[in-house]
């Protein structure tokens, strides 16, 4: 295991948890949502926090709103920092609804994206069509991240569908299955209308997940990130993280914030 170290701080200060791995990570991955960062802000994000970002999503259908030049530069910067750049899953749903799926994938590959999100948060996808979308993405050499759950406020979780989707998506080649939480983190999936976690539903959900390393939890709010780290561990995969919160989340993962200090610090005698 190659851990992330700092050239200037003692290892016990840089990572008191002593568990954070360097990229490419299989667990403890962080997916960031970009809802319209300018190039300067995007480059600043890469320089400051690029080492702590594994996947970066251009939220919903914003990919269609960039000029080709800006899209290309974002893709180049992401690739230089070993970050998988993906368009939002809603954009692929638009392509399905508009009947332009082949054009979507051709453009995704040409623009420099290195992955896609296959979701049905807004439209209904048959299992066959979901499989075809995953296969088409893989044929284009793209990483595939699928999503489970609807964006509609108050949507309930079908547990038999959950476990079937996880197994099927993994079998088809999906790297991670994302649990829907929207960019707001409120009123959907395991979150109530104020963003709190519905603990009974969450516990029941855990009983139906065969391997936690296969799952990415959308958790845009700090309270949600903290809850999931405490419940699952620092190697939990977290998504829809706002760009300005990447460093804060990394500090949570390492025990560099009071919230996870006792949870993650190794026991040792105080000394000077």
* pLDDT band (50, 70, 90) for residue 6: low
- A 10 A CB-CB count for 140 gives 15
What pLDDT digit, counting tens, does each position of 128-186 carry?
999 999 999 999 999 999 999 876 665 667 888 889 999 999 999 999 999 987 767 66
**pLDDT, position 185:** 64
Q: What is the tens place of the pLDDT at every residue in 36-67? A: 999 999 999 999 999 999 999 999 999 999 99
Q: Inform me whether the pLDDT recorded for 239 exceeds 60.
A: yes
Domain ranges of the chain: 30-250
Return the C-alpha torsion angle 112, 144, 254, 232, nearest 10.
170
Q: DSSP labels for the chain? A: --B---SSS-HHHH-TTS-PBPSSPSSS-EEEEESS--HHHHHHHHHHHGGG-SEEEE-TTGGGGS-HHHHHHHHHHHHHTT-EEEE-HHHHHHHHHHT-HHHHHHHHHHHT--EEEE--SSS---HHHHHHHHHHHHHTT-EEEEEES--STTPPP-HHHHHHHHHHHHHHT-SEEEEP-TTT--SSTTB-TTS-B-HHHHHHHHHT-S-GGGEEEE--SHHHHHHHHHHH-TT-EEEEE-GGGHHHHHHHHHT-SGGGHHHHSPP-----
Among 86-90, 93-97, 256-260, the minimum mean pLDDT is found in 256-260
Is 2's pLDDT higher than 80? no
Is the pLDDT at 73 greater than 70? The verdict is yes
Mean pLDDT of the chain: 90
CATH no. for 30-250: 3.20.20.70
| pLDDT at residue 251, as a whole number | 95
User: What is the per-residue pLDDT for 19?
Assistant: 85
Q: Tell me what pLDDT residue 137 has.
A: 98
Using 50, 70 and 90 to split pLDDT, how confident is the model at 16? confident
């Amino acid at each position: 295991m190659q851990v992330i170290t700092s050239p200037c701080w003692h290892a016990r200060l840089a990572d008191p948890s002593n568990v954070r791995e360097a990229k490419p990570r299989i667990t403890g991955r962080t997916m960031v949502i970009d809802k319209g960062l300018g190039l300067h802000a995007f480059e600043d994000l890469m320089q400051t926090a690029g080492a702590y970002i594994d996947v970066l999503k251009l939220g919903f259908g914003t990919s269609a709103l960039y000029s080709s030049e800006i899209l290309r530069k974002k893709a180049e910067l992401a690739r230089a920092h070993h970050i998988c750049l993906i368009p939002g899953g809603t954009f692929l749903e638009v392509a399905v609804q508009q009947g332009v799926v082949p054009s979507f994938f051709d453009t995704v590959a040409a623009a420099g994206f290195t992955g896609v999100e296959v979701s049905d948060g807004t439209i209904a996808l048959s299992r066959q069509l979901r499989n075809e979308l995953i296969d088409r993405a893989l044929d284009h050499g793209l990483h595939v991240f699928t999503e489970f759950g609807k964006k509609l406020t108050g949507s309930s979780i079908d547990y038999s569908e959950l476990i079937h989707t996880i197994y099927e998506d993994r079998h088809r080649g999906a790297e991670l299955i994302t649990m829907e939480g929207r960019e707001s983190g409120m009123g959907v999936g395991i979150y109530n209308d104020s963003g709190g976690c519905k603990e009974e539903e969450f516990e029941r959900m855990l009983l139906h997940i065969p391997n936690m390393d296969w799952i990415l939890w959308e958790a845009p709010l700090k309270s949600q990130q903290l809850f999931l780290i405490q419940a699952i561990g620092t190697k939990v995969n977290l998504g829809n993280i706002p760009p300005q919160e990447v460093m804060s989340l990394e500090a949570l993962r390492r025990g560099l914030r009071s919230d996870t200090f006792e949870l993650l610090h190794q026991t040792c005698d105080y000394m000077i």
